[in-house]
């Protein structure tokens, strides 16, 4: 039996950073579904087409193969036999991913891969609709969020620390736009699952958020704590 932790939330909430750390702490595999969508978004940025035309979109998707590989426990995203992991964090890729993730054909293409990973191993999987659509029976569901300005500030700091030029007002504007798109798309909109635990990280440090989610997992599943005692 595999254990699944589903982490949903808006753009810039820190889902990838937190989920990766929680997975490491629990000895789970981390699955970044957003990276899968970003890989398809990257393809469309490099091969522009008419995504409004359903038939044209499905034909383009036939030319896309997305695979997940793990090296020393780290996830690598392979797009058409090329490792594109390092290209996926660009702002334009993220914005395109928000657009293409609203397409039913795109979601269908990735759904079986995501569910297959969860069925075969203990995973922490993050995204926008993991607890509501991808893994509705997940053992633990988390809705991780933070205020839009807080998320923008974190992204600004991340970019400037890399030496990149960034406009915090533009970042916040993009985040609010993506929230609007994600929450109001017709297919699998972003929302908190009824049985998900809300974790607002606006005033929490990364270690505090990690510890909170690990504690929720142990409380809900009765799994052993690091000292061997049963929690919950």
**Does the annotation list 9 as a binding residue?**
yes
The answer to whether the annotation marks 116 as part of a ligand binding site is no
CA 79 from centre of chain? 17
**Of 90, 137, 96, which Cα lies nearest the Cα of 118?**
137
72 annotated to bind ligand: no
Residue 6, annotated ligand binder? no
27 belongs to an annotated ligand binding site: no
Q: What's the CA gap between 116 and 120, in Å, rounded?
A: 6
Q: Is 101 annotated as a binding residue?
A: no
**Is 10 annotated for ligand binding?**
yes
Dist. CA 90–CA 15, nearest whole Å = 16
CA atoms within 13 A on the CB side of 75: 26
Furthest CA-CA distance within the chain: 56
Q: Known binder of ligand: residue 118?
A: no
Asked whether residue 2 is marked as a ligand-binding residue, the answer is no
Q: SS3 of 46, please? A: helix
Residues annotated in the binding site, as ranges?
9-17
Instruction: Please report, in range form, the residues annotated as the binding site for ATP.
Output: 9-17
């Amino acid at each position: 039996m595999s254990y699944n932790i589903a982490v949903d939330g808006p753009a810039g909430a820190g889902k990838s950073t937190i989920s990766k750390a929680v997975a490491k702490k629990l000895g789970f595999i981390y699955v970044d579904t957003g990276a899968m969508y970003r890989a398809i978004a990257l393809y469309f940025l490099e091969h522009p087409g008419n995504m409004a035309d359903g038939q044209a979109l499905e034909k383009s998707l036939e030319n896309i193969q997305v695979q997940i590989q793990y090296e020393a426990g780290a996830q690598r995203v392979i797009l058409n036999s090329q490792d594109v992991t390092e290209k996926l964090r660009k702002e334009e890729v993220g914005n395109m991913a928000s657009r293409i993730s609203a397409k039913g054909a795109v979601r269908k293409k990735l759904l079986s891969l995501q569910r297959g990973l969860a069925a075969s191993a203990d995973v922490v999987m993050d995204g926008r609709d993991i607890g509501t659509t991808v893994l509705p029976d997940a053992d633990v569901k988390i809705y991780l969020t933070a205020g839009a300005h807080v998320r923008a500030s974190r992204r600004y700091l991340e970019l400037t620390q890399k030496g990149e030029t960034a406009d915090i007002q533009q970042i916040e504007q993009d985040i609010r736009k993506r929230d609007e798109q994600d929450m109001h798309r017709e297919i699998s909109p972003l929302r908190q699952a009824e049985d998900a635990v809300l974790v607002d990280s606006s005033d929490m440090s990364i270690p505090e958020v990690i510890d909170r989610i690990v504690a929720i997992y142990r409380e809900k599943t009765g799994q052993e704590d690091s000292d061997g005692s049963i929690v919950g």
